[in-house]
């Protein structure tokens, strides 16, 4: 690279259209994904997206283009977007370029790697379907996550998405000795600051890396921040052989950023204005999230569904990559059932007898059946009262209400403001509790005895202590 003559490394700006910049070079054009630098102190960074002819390239600016004008000199860096990787990145917050944005000194980084990495080859992938235990009862029993899989988290503001994510970070660090990476795509600065404060208060920052592409940044930066976070995650999976939990908020904003880039590049839009390359761009990101023989990247992605239309192309393409979906309910949050997960609307492709086993599958199906019957009976109860139901239906209601309360759980990350000690419950204990409730073992116990506990044995302990 150093032997390339200076005149071959420099070009000049031909046109600037928003975040799209055309650059002309003397003889040798830069490669696709090469970074170009221009402007005062070379502060404007451009990534090459297409070669227009033998002398010209078109790129997307990853930084604001204020002050950029025709004729300005442009330097080819002869390399792609680079990201810092290594143990020193833990507990730090970065932007898309790997600059620390947490007001601390730059980390002592071991090495820098390209943000554009190929997915692991099929030969290196783990063919075994494994369950990723979270220690959260309702998730592990009814919608088990796949190790190395992708899970969609659907829910509005204020229903507990951040609390659920921070609890998973805590459990992954404690139970799996894993690393968590949070990737904020198009994140509001308020959301980023609140999340940073939450993870500090919860004591989970030391096992976490945060990467942000803020909402006010150019579409190019928002489009590449997901690739930057994945490169950091791949280091911990492939080099340190650790399990990684990758949290993405919000995958729809990645598609939106790609739509902006595509429009600025002059590509013909596809259905509903989406970019014609949406499927490819999403697959390039999602296929890097995988389980290999040495480690796994398990991803939980917040998904915004435009106008609640599940036939929207963005939703269709996103859901095709997911192995599970967790739906948060505002109604359940208002009733005090935390985590506020709707068990009937949430699902997992792992919930089959061949993966989770016949006993687990039968218990999960019995729970869903009981809760569905209770949902159907709610209107009758509201009109006529519980006493008017036949005895069998009253038993179903009693089981369902006890199951709903048993599937609540105190979190470690909320101890400081609830005063209730957090509980991590193994899948074995969660299944045992549900099975015993379905068998009417606790029909003589008050419903409140099962609310916000860990293992089912705590019910009898509390009642022995005089709480009955």
* Residue for token pair 């947490």: 102
Q: What is the pLDDT of residue 467?
A: 46
% the chain with pLDDT above 70? 95
Higher pLDDT, 325 or 175: 325
E strand or H helix that includes residue 400: helix 391-406
Q: At what angle do helices 427-438 and 391-406 cross, to 10 degrees?
A: 160
Query: Rounded distance, CA 69 to CA 182, Å?
Result: 36
Among candidate residues 133, 146, 167, 187, the one labeled active-site is 187
pLDDT tens digits along 383-412: 888 888 888 999 999 999 999 999 999 998
Sequence-ordered list of residues with C-beta below 8 angstroms from that of 457, at least 6 positions apart, any chain: none
Query: Rounded distance, CA 17 to CA 219, Å?
Result: 13
Judge contact between 406 and 456, C-beta under 8 A: yes
Determine if residue 397 is left, alpha or beta; phi over 0 gives left, psi from -120 to 50 gives alpha, anything else beta: alpha
Query: Rounded distance, CA 407 to CA 401, Å?
Result: 10
Average pLDDT over residues 136-145: 95
E strand or H helix that includes residue 23: strand 20-25
Query: Rounded distance, CA 335 to CA 329, Å?
Result: 10
Among the residue ranges 164-173, 228-237, 287-296, the one predicted with the least confidence is: 164-173
Let me know if 423 is a catalytic residue: no
Query: Rounded distance, CA 265 to CA 49, Å?
Result: 9
Judge contact between 134 and 341, C-beta under 8 A: no
Query: Rounded distance, CA 92 to CA 90, Å?
Result: 5
- Ramachandran angles phi, psi of 323, nearest 5°: -105, -10
**3-state secondary structure at position 381:** helix
**What are residue 13's DSSP bridge partners?**
23
Query: Rounded distance, CA 299 to CA 279, Å?
Result: 19
Judge contact between 246 and 183, C-beta under 8 A: yes
User: What six digits make up the tokens of 67?
Assistant: 């002050």
Q: What is the pLDDT of residue 7?
A: 45
Among the residue ranges 175-179, 182-186, 322-326, 429-433, the one predicted with the least confidence is: 175-179
Among candidate residues 58, 150, 161, 332, the one labeled active-site is 161
Query: Rounded distance, CA 78 to CA 205, Å?
Result: 35
* Residue for token pair 């088990």: 144
Question: In this structure, how many other beta carbons lie within 10 angstroms of the beta carbon of residue 193?
Answer: 11
Average pLDDT over residues 340-369: 95
* Residue for token pair 């609640």: 308
Confidence of residue 2 (pLDDT cuts 50, 70, 90): very low
Q: What is the pLDDT of residue 464?
A: 60
* Residue for token pair 């014609």: 276
Query: Dihedral sign, CA of 75, 79, 80, 85?
Result: negative
- The total number of residues shown for the chain amounts to 468
Query: Rounded distance, CA 316 to CA 85, Å?
Result: 33
Among candidate residues 128, 188, 421, 468, the one labeled active-site is 188
- Nearest residue to 220 via CA among 75, 67, 31, 33: 33
Confidence of residue 48 (pLDDT cuts 50, 70, 90): very high
Let me know if 187 is a catalytic residue: yes
Let me know if 161 is a catalytic residue: yes
């Amino acid at each position: 690279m150093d032997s390339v003559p200076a005149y071959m490394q420099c070009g000049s700006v031909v046109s600037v259209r928003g975040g799209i910049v055309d650059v002309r070079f003397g003889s040798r054009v830069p490669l696709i994904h090469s970074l170009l630098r221009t402007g005062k102190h070379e502060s404007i960074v451009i990534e090459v997206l297409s070669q227009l002819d033998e002398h010209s390239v078109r790129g997307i600016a990853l930084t604001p283009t204020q002050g950029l004008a025709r004729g300005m000199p442009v330097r080819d860096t002869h390399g792609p977007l680079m990201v810092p990787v290594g143990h020193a990145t833990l507990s730090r917050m970065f932007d898309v370029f790997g600059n620390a944005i947490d007001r601390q000194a730059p980390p002592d980084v071991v090495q820098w790697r390209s943000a554009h990495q190929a997915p692991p080859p099929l030969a290196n992938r783990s063919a075994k379907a494994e369950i990723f235990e979270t220690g959260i009862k309702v998730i592990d029993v009814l919608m088990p996550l796949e190790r190395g899989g992708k899970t969609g988290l659907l829910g509005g503001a204020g229903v507990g998405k951040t609390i659920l994510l921070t609890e998973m970070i805590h459990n992954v660090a404690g139970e799996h000795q894993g690393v968590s990476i949070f990737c904020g795509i198009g994140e509001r600065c308020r959301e980023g600051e609140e999340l940073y404060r939450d993870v500090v208060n919860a004591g989970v920052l030391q096992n976490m890396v945060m990467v942000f592409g803020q909402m006010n940044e150019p579409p190019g930066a928002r489009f590449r921040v997901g690739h930057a976070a994945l490169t950091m995650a791949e280091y911990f999976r492939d080099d340190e052989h650790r399990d990684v939990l990758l949290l993405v908020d919000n995958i729809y904003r990645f598609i939106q950023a790609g739509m902006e880039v595509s429009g600025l590049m002059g590509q013909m839009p596809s259905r509903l204005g989406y970019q014609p390359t949406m499927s490819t761009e999403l697959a390039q990101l999602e296929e890097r999230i995988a389980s290999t023989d040495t480690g796994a990247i398990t991803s939980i992605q917040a998904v915004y569904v435009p106008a609640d239309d599940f036939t929207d192309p963005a939703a269709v393409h996103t859901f095709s990559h997911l192995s599970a979906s967790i739906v948060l309910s505002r109604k359940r949050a208002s009733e005090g059932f935390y985590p506020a997960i709707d068990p009937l609307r949430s699902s997992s492709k792992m919930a089959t007898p061949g993966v989770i086993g016949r006993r687990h599958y039968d218990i999960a199906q019995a729970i869903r059946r009981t809760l569905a019957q209770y949902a159907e009976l709610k209107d009758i109860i509201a009109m006529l009262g519980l006493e008017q139901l036949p005895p069998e239906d009253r038993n179903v209601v009693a089981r369902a209400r006890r199951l709903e309360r048993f599937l609540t759980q105190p979190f470690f990350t909320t101890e400081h403001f609830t005063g209730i000690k957090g509980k991590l419950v193994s899948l074995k204990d969660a299944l045992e509790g549900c099975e015993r409730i379905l068998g009417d073992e606790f029909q003589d116990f008050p419903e409140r005895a099962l609310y916000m506990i860990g293992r089912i044995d705590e019910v009898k302990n509390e009642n022995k202590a005089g709480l009955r």
